[in-house]
């Protein structure tokens, strides 16, 4: 269940796999501002022992290893709100109307319903998991039984709609979409209820037999339903085919929330501009040399020809030197990449993302970041000056107040940041080292295999621009415990 808890915890750094960590951030525009601006700054403190610096890890390497996934926030509905027949925003109720009207947007609404059901179930399950140790036995079992009842109502209503659609709508595409969402909903119910049951059974004194039976009945119903309608051919094959299909279903459903983007590097136009400027200056210098030193020489003499060649070489070196120096200086004032975020019509720009990356010296770290960096530092060699290289990544998100004029349910974005740290660990030591001690009773040598780990500290500063003089600022610190084999754990400091 831990991986689902991490998925739920927006704003928290967590492990995606042994090589990648990720951060899911919510960005919801304020109606009072026409353009909303959010800035996130990542300070990664890399131990020198890993030999990661600006010479071994380039800007291009970072953007190769880094990912930003941009999508709409899932609209929030409870199960009761989904089932409410007068709720015009409910995807379940809207589908009834769209199917009756045979509207073209029915396919997108079907996928959205799958996302909403997953989000509603996830919220309820994690609320219960979070309360297991503190909630009273009677109230906990009451909430679990209510959840089981509401899940049964939602799946019954959806499958009734599914049958009605198959009877009235002849479009094979729509039928296929409904079938995919049906299987996705069944997988979702199974996944979250088995996770909830596992957590509840760790507290056997609080789990009533009636509650256990209600959850098991739902899980077994869904297992039988999938085997009858979907999994028959898959269960006879290898397990990796089943999980592969589940992954495809997840991608299919989440498609309704994805936004198209247009990303381009600012370096190309700046490079052309600076190159032209450098060429002009170098040409001016060359012409000046020729005029000053070439006076009195015949254009056909050997001396003039040699002098012209020397001046041309100098001109070429001057041009390259100016271009290189100016380019490096200019990049400090510009972002590396700029991304346009497009609405579902693929034409309207609803926001943008700007990114920049560099290694920075310790002297350039703001005091507030240093204070957080040194907060709750472990007591091992605490006064020792830690030799580190500091990676600095900054992204600025700008959003319009209204993201989708035709759908008020889409009013915020999720941006999922991921970083693969495998290239950072290429020069890490072996994950275990032998360490010998003498046993006091027998005086024999005993060999211990001790783990060799590194601490990669990350400080994240998030700023939301507001019309008021006071900005909304949060600073958080995380510690990645890593070794040669990847990420072992993440601590929130």
Neighbours of 225 (CB within 10 A): 18
Is the Cβ–Cβ distance between 336 and 266 less than 8 Å? Answer: yes
Instruction: From first to last of the 493 residues of the chain, give the pLDDT tens digit.
Output: 455 555 555 668 889 889 999 998 888 877 777 788 899 999 999 999 999 999 999 989 999 999 988 888 888 899 999 889 888 888 888 888 887 777 677 888 888 999 999 999 998 898 888 877 777 778 888 888 899 999 999 999 988 888 887 777 667 888 888 889 999 999 999 999 998 888 888 877 767 788 888 889 999 999 888 888 886 555 555 567 777 888 888 888 888 888 888 888 766 665 556 666 666 666 666 666 666 655 655 555 666 666 666 666 766 666 666 655 544 554 456 688 888 888 777 777 888 899 999 999 888 889 899 888 887 665 555 555 678 899 999 999 988 876 665 677 777 888 899 999 999 999 999 999 888 889 888 888 999 998 999 999 999 999 887 655 566 888 999 999 999 999 999 988 8
Q: Name all domains of the chain by residue range, CATH numbers in brackets.
A: 79-257 (1.20.58), 267-331 (no CATH)
Tell me the whole-structure pTM to 2 decimals.
0.78
Contacts of 247 (CB under 8 A, 6+ apart): none
Give whole-number Cα distances, 159 to 78, 166, 222, 248, 372, in Å.
18, 11, 12, 21, 52
Say if strands 413-420 and 445-451 run parallel, antiparallel, or are unpaired.
Answer: unpaired
């Amino acid at each position: 269940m831990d991986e689902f808890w991490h998925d739920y915890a927006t704003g928290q750094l967590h492990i995606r796999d042994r090589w990648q960590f990720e951060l899911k951030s919510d960005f919801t525009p304020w109606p009072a501002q026409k353009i909303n601006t959010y800035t996130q700054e990542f300070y990664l403190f890399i131990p020198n022992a890993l030999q990661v610096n600006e010479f071994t890890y380039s800007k291009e390497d970072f953007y190769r290893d880094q990912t930003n996934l941009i999508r709409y926030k899932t609209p929030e509905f409870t199960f009761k709100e989904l089932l409410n027949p007068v709720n015009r925003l409910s995807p379940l109720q809207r589908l009834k109307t769209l199917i009756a009207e045979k509207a073209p947007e029915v396919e997108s609404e079907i996928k959205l319903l799958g996302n909403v059901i997953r989000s509603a179930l996830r919220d309820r399950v994690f609320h219960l998991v979070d309360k297991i140790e503190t909630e009273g036995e009677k109230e906990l079992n009451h909430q679990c039984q209510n959840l089981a009842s509401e899940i049964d109502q939602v799946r019954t209503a959806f499958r009734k709609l599914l049958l009605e659609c198959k009877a009235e709508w002849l479009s094979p595409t729509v039928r296929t979409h409904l079938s995919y969402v049906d299987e996705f909903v069944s997988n979702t119910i199974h996944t979250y209820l088995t996770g909830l049951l596992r957590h509840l059974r760790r507290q056997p004194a609080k789990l009533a037999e009636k509650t256990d039976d209600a959850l098991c009945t739902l899980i077994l119903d869904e297992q039988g339903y999938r085997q009858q309608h979907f999994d028959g051919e898959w269960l006879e094959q290898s397990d990796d085919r089943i999980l592969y299909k589940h992954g495809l279903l997840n991608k299919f459903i989440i498609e309704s929330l994805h936004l198209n983007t247009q990303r381009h590097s600012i370096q190309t136009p700046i490079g052309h501009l600076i190159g032209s400027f450098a060429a002009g200056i170098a040409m001016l210098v060359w012409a000046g040399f020729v005029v000053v030193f070439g006076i009195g020489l015949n254009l056909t003499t050997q001396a003039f020809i040699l002098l012209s060649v020397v001046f041309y070489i100098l001109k070429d070196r001057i041009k390259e030197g100016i271009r290189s120096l100016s380019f490096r200086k200019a990049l400090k004032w510009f972002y590396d990449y700029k991304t346009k975020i497009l609405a579902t019509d693929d034409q309207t720009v609803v926001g943008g993302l700007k990114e920049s990356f560099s290694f920075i010296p310790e002297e350039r770290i703001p005091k507030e970041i240093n204070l957080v960096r040194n907060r709750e530092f472990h007591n091992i060699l605490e006064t020792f000056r830690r030799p580190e290289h500091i990676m600095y990544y900054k992204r600025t998100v700008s959003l319009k107040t209204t993201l989708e004029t035709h759908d008020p349910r889409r009013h915020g974005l999720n941006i999922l940041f991921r970083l693969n740290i495998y290239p950072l660990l290429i020069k890490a030591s072996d994950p275990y080292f032998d360490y010998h001690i003498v046993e006091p009773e027998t005086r024999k040598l005993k060999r211990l295999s001790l783990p060799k780990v590194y601490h990669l500290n990350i400080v994240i500063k998030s700023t939301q621009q507001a019309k008021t003089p006071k900005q909304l600022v949060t600073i958080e610190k995380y510690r990645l415990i890593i070794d040669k084999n990847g990420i072992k754990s993440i601590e929130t400091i």
